[in-house]
Amino acid sequence: MNNKDYIDIANKNEIVDNISIGSIKFAHRYSDKKDIEVSGLFASWLSYGNREEYEKIVERLLTCEMGNKPYDYVMSREYDKYKDNYTCLYHLTTWHNFAMLCNHLYNIYSNNEDLESAVINNFKIKKFGYYYQSLCDLLYNETLIQSPGSTSACSRINMYLRWMSRSNSPIDLGIWTNIRESKLLVSCNDKVINNAKKLNLIKKTEDNKINMIKITKFANEVFKGDPSRMDYVLQYEL
């Protein structure tokens, strides 16, 4: 494929109608920045396995557990009752993991204006190479989120950053204005990796940091200054 082919595919897929088929639809329900941050984080955190299954869990958390007030729920510490509860929430994820992610968010919001500010400040202080490492660093302990030094592609974290930071999109929310599109990475889940291998962008189907950087470098040649738009090519059937 040439660059025009990639752009045509992205134009076809990055449309309002496709909000409904992605987990980002949960964050689109809210208007308050912190509610968007929290709902989007939990939606991306659980986005693995069968889509119909994990979306039921996200729906349950946001409506039944959080009463459609995700930020208020976190700050009320209602999640404390789930600490040390290792029963299954969804596949490998336990209620304890849920409580710990809430607890990380509680600490973040108690000490920062919002999650965006926390990510930016942590990025500068610890001099990370990529913004996803800063977010991982804030959230990883006992949450099944990878550490900032992981060799994983951290696809769901990078997907979340795209949701929050990418502007002028009919799908992405773009409420984080301090992270430029040029600094975002392609979110390399299994489908992206398999499609990238099919297109000879990588040699091995491994969802690791090395492949993520290779794919993002290529994506930046196609979508100059906006490499994560490649998600709208590689996330779909080719």
Q: Where are the domains of the chain?
A: 3-234
Measured distance between the N- and C-terminal CA atoms of the chain, rounded to whole angstroms: 11
According to the model, what pLDDT value does residue 238 have?
86
Burial (CB < 10 A; 0-12, 13-18, 19+), residue 204, is exposed
Each residue's pLDDT tens digit in the chain (238 positions)?
999 999 999 999 999 999 999 999 999 999 999 999 999 999 999 999 999 999 999 999 999 999 999 999 999 999 999 999 999 999 999 999 999 999 999 999 999 999 999 999 999 999 999 999 999 999 999 999 999 999 999 999 999 999 999 999 999 999 999 999 999 999 999 999 999 999 999 999 999 999 999 999 999 999 999 999 999 999 998 8
Q: Which of 143, 164, 25 is nearest to 79 (CA)?
A: 143
Question: Do 230 and 222 contact (CB within 8 A), yes or no?
Answer: yes
According to the model, what pLDDT value does residue 228 have?
98
Q: What angle do CA 173, 13, 226 make, to 5 degrees?
A: 55
3-state secondary structure of 47: coil
The structure's pTM equals 0.97
